[in-house]
Amino acid sequence: MKFYRGVNKLGPTSTEMANGFVNWPKHQAPTGNIYEWFKAQINPTYPAWDGKARYKIGDRVSFSNASFEAKSMINAPKALGAGPALPNPSPVGAPTAWTKLIFVPKDVAALGSNWRASTPGGLIATAATEVGSFSHMEYLYRMEYPDNDLYCFSVSDDGSATGQGVHPQEVALLARNSPYNQYLLITDASTIDELKNAKVLGLYHGIVHTQEVTFLTPIPRDKFTGWRLKTGQVGTFTPLP
C-alpha cells in the first residue's frame, strides 16, 4: 500500500529526513501500547488539576468541568495560591500557562475531523492519494508497505478495532469501495490482541475523498520509495539518494 506526504523545507538530503518521518517531540511521545493511547484520545478523561503538581508541555487536566492543556513547563507553587496559574481564565498568568480544550472528540468521527483540520504534533499526516497528501508543499514523498505486511480493521465509535484484520486491496481502496469508505485502522498487527504490540498504526479516513491516513507511529526511511518536487509530474517519483 502506498502513502504520500507533502512537506516544506525537508528535502531528501536534509538531516531531519535521515530516519524518515519521526515527529514526536520527546515530551509528548507516548510509550507502551500505542493502540490504547489512540483509544484514550476519544472522549478522554484527564486527572483533576493539582495545585501542588508539576506539569510539562502537553499535559492535560480537568478543572471546573472543562479540560486544559499546559502550554509551558509549570512548576509546583511554593504555597497554595502562589506560583503558576490555575487552569482558569481569571487568575493572573492563566492565559499563557494553559489552553482550554474546546473540541474534545466524543467519537472516532470527531477525532478524525480534528486530525484532518490540524494534525497534532507527533502524528504524521499522509494520504493514500497524492491529491490528499499536501502535494502543494515543496517536496512530496511516497512511502510503501507491502500489502501482505498490513491489516485493516473496522473501528467502532470509541476507537476499538472490530472484526477480522484483512490485507488492504489497493484498487478497491482507491475506488473507496466498502469497507474503504469509512474509518479503518491500518496496522502491522494481524489480530486485535496483537494491536498492543503494533509497530505500525494509522487511522485511515475513508469518509473523505482525499483518503488521509494519520500515522501514530514513525515511518522509517526504508519505506520511502520516491520523491518529487511539487512542480513535478503527478505519479512520477525519483528514488531517494
Predicted model pTM: 0.85
- pLDDT bracket for residue 134 (50, 70, 90): confident
Residue 189's pLDDT is: 98
Nearest-angstrom CA–CA distance, 59 and 99: 11
Report in angstroms the alpha-carbon separations of 65 from 62, 93, 118. 7, 20, 24
Q: Are 151 and 167 in contact (CB under 8 A)?
A: yes
pLDDT of residue 5 exceeding 80 = yes
pLDDT tens, residue by residue, 71-130: 888 776 544 344 455 555 433 345 567 888 888 999 999 999 999 998 887 899 999 999
Nearest-angstrom CA–CA distance, 204 and 31: 22
Reduce the DSSP state of residue 169 to 3 states and report it. Answer: coil
Instruction: Find the range with the poorest average confidence among 47-56, 124-133, 175-184, 225-234.
Output: 47-56
Report in angstroms the alpha-carbon separations of 119 from 2, 112, 124, 125. 20, 10, 7, 7
Reduce the DSSP state of residue 70 to 3 states and report it. Answer: strand
Nearest-angstrom CA–CA distance, 131 and 138: 14
Report in angstroms the alpha-carbon separations of 136 from 228, 232, 234. 11, 11, 11
Residue 86's pLDDT is: 58
Query: Whole-number mean pLDDT of the chain?
Result: 88
Instruction: Find the range with the poorest average confidence among 22-31, 38-47, 112-121.
Output: 22-31
- CA-closest candidate to residue 226, choices 115, 123, 133: 133
pLDDT of residue 181 exceeding 90 = yes
Q: Are 213 and 127 in contact (CB under 8 A)?
A: yes
Nearest-angstrom CA–CA distance, 177 and 158: 23
